[in-house]
Amino acid sequence: MEYHLDTNLLAARVKTKRGKKGLRDTAREIGNISSSTLSRVENGKMPDMETFLLLCNWLQVSPAELFKKTEESEVPSDSNTLEAIEIQLRASKKLDPAVANALAELVKAAYRDNAQQSDN
């Protein structure tokens, strides 16, 4: 049995707590997060680990509360996996942005190459 972050639940919790307050004001309140990142989270996108922990702190919830069991029919798609890898690479403060982009493209190319080999 596996677990994954329920991005829809996270999005709903963030939207509910934010209410009618603007994205910029809320991002400032949370700290160290941009309004565009907050918007992506509210749209169900996977946050990087630092953002996720900041949001959990702001929401006053344990990170574990936002995870759910993955049923076989709910296994994350390759596109979600690629997106998560790309987000983590680009969020890394240890990687130059150009290197992070190059690594993300390399991973995508490897996925495409593997998919083509699997089809043959």
Q: Assess whether 84 and 39 both reside in one domain.
A: no
Confidence of residue 1 (pLDDT cuts 50, 70, 90): low
Q: What was the pLDDT predicted at 119?
A: 75
Expressed as residue numbers, the domain containing 86 is 76-119
Summarize the confidence of residues 16-45 as an average pLDDT. Answer: 95
| Mean pLDDT computed over every residue of the chain | 87
CATH code at position 6:
1.10.260.40
Count of the separate structural domains present in the chain? 2
Looking at 72, 88, 103, which one is the last position of a domain?
Answer: 72
Residue 30: is its pLDDT beyond 80? yes
Q: Assess whether 82 and 108 both reside in one domain.
A: yes
Q: Assess whether 63 and 90 both reside in one domain.
A: no
| pLDDT single digits (tens) 36-87 | 999 999 999 999 999 999 999 999 999 999 998 877 555 556 667 788 788 7
Give the separation between CA 43 and CA 20, rounded to whole angstroms. Answer: 16
- Residues whose CB falls within 8 Å of the CB of residue 25, separated by 6 or more in sequence, listed in order: none
Helix %, strand %, coil % for the chain, to 5? 70, 5, 25
Q: State the residue for tokens 């798609």.
A: 77
Q: Assess whether 68 and 81 both reside in one domain.
A: no
